[in-house]
Amino acid sequence: MDRISFHEQISRNKIKSFLLLASILIVLILLGFFIGKVVGPDYFFIIMIISIIFSVFYIWFGYYNSHKIALASVNAKPASYSEYPMYNQVIESLCIASGIPKPKLYVMHENHINAFASGRDPENAVICVTTGCLEKLDKHELEGVLAHELSHVANYDIRFMTLTAVLVGMITIISEIFLRSIFWKSLDNDNKKNQSIIIIIGIILAIIAPIITSLVQLSISRKREYTADASAVKFIRSPTGLKNALKKIQKEHPLKNSEEKHHYNKALAPLFISDPFKRKISELFATHPSIEKRIEILEKM
């Protein structure tokens, strides 16, 4: 079996993440070029300003309050040292190994094994685990899960995904405004003849650009999960704990009733170490890579 270096895995997935982000920028530039050709640079500039204002304002609020929103949505409670000593001790050891400040720790009452990290930077980070995580995992497995979540903090994944969300949001808003305006914007006959191909290309691009960039955004999310897995191995110098924890998560049954599902907001699902809804969908549309693939990679480290 070919061995995989965690350094190589981290580097490869970070490069892929940046290339995917660059592809979103390329789509934005192409969209801007063709829309500018159709409606004129001045009108496109106005559309651009509107999209930036709406997208940045919306994402900015979520960015600075992401940890508060996430914790409130799952009714998480602070994990005191006296009540959860092992949880605190493992995090403290990992923080020393990773060289980042200790995040605020929380617990949510849920029987399934899961955890998430949030916060715009290491100084404002939080980590939350389920009671199932603390009850069903041994210390080594818990260490693997917490190292994964701490890796998201150390890698500034919330910041990276926020930037991605801003760009995708801008493309969606620009496309929507353009498609709505193109039908009432009048062009003279000469312009219609000369610009017909550009108009068609602009309309097609405006329709497919939000779809393509949303899929790229999901791909970036999956790459960041692979990176966090590899970074967790880097922190604890062993893939065994995280691998065994993922195997236990894999064996758990999907959520069966709506009452359980109400513990989670679907918008929060990408933050978790595994999709809490355990949806059977193509990986193309998934926020997380399959647990089988993650375990397979960890077994080669």
Diameter of the chain by CA atoms? 78
Q: Is 149 a catalytic residue?
A: yes
Q: Measured between alpha carbons, how far is 155 from 125 in angstroms, rounded to an integer? A: 12
Q: Running DSSP on this structure, what letter comes out for residue 276?
A: T
What backbone torsions phi and psi does residue 256 show, to the nearest 5 degrees?
Answer: -100, -30
| CA 52 to each of CA 22, 47, 168, 184: distance values in angstroms, whole numbers, following the listed order | 18, 9, 11, 23
Q: Is 214 exposed, middle or buried (0-12, 13-18, 19+ CB in 10 A)?
A: middle
Please state, in angstroms and rounded to a whole number, the distance separating the CA atoms of residues 52 and 166.
Answer: 8
Whole-angstrom Cα distance, residue 280 to residue 13? 24
Closest CA to 227 of 167, 166, 133, 149: 149
Residue among 110, 141, 143, 149 flagged as catalytic: 149
Known catalytic residues are 149
